[in-house]
Amino acid sequence: MYSTKIALLNLGRRRSRTAFTLLAIAVAIAMTVLMTSAGLGLKEGSSAMYAQEVDYWIVPSGSGVTDPITNSEQTMLGRVHQSVERIIENPDVNGASPVLNRVLYASDCGDGEGPKAIIGIGVIPGSIDVPPVSSEGFTPGDPDDTHEAVVNEKTARLLGVHTGDVIYAGESQTSLQPFTIVNVVAMPEYSLSPVIVLHLSELQNITGNREGDRANQIIVSGGTRDFLKSIYPDAIVLSNT
């Protein structure tokens, strides 16, 4: 596991890769572990879901590839809303957003019949010009109870839904909540795995991460490594340079 983590971190430092490449690999591995244990037969996948570059990626020093399953506060960043506000106040920063990743269940009906395992991503829409944070259709910022969702085409096909439809998502098959699809993202980077994107606060609520205001990482455009280390001195700050 340690060697895997080091390999992933080194991969993130390559200029030709994006910060989200590591996230995609980690989530793909984590989902494989989950689906195997649940007997749902998810195939392994390690290709990147995202192609847009960011300048910096802040991750907890103890994070690992199974974090989207374990949901451990020891391997997550805390007080992320407050920290992102401080980061964005820096005139050298162009944008920033926390990113929370969790394996969720989703269905096109509210009775929990036949829910599918998908990747849940929580962000603050409009806070940085990088998909999926910049996806159109979202209410900007991070208000509570919008019940808005952006899905990729694979999720739309999997559940048989379109923009304007209501889907139900939650951390377990018995705790599904309604979300209205405000956009279906048609991008090659999102074609490998079923994805649902929610406002950060709403994904925090349904996964138990509102207390402590936790997320898995923060992505940043602009700024400097030293400045970001001053915000999270115990975290790892990866760069694309």
Higher local confidence (pLDDT), 50 or 25: 25
In sequence order, the 6+-apart residues with CB closer than 8 A to the CB of 13 are: 238, 239, 240
- pLDDT digit string, tens, across residues 104-156: 999 998 665 688 999 899 999 999 988 888 889 999 999 999 999 999 999 99
Segments forming the whole domain that contains residue 171: 2-239
Q: How many domains is the chain partitioned into structurally?
A: 1
- pLDDT digit string, tens, across residues 7-29: 444 444 444 344 455 455 455 54
Q: Is the peptide bond before 233 cis (omega within 30 degrees of 0)?
A: no
Neighbours of 112 (CB within 10 A): 15
Q: Is the pTM of this model over 0.85?
A: no
Neighbours of 71 (CB within 10 A): 18
Which tokens hold the place of 211? 């207390």
3-state secondary structure of 114: coil
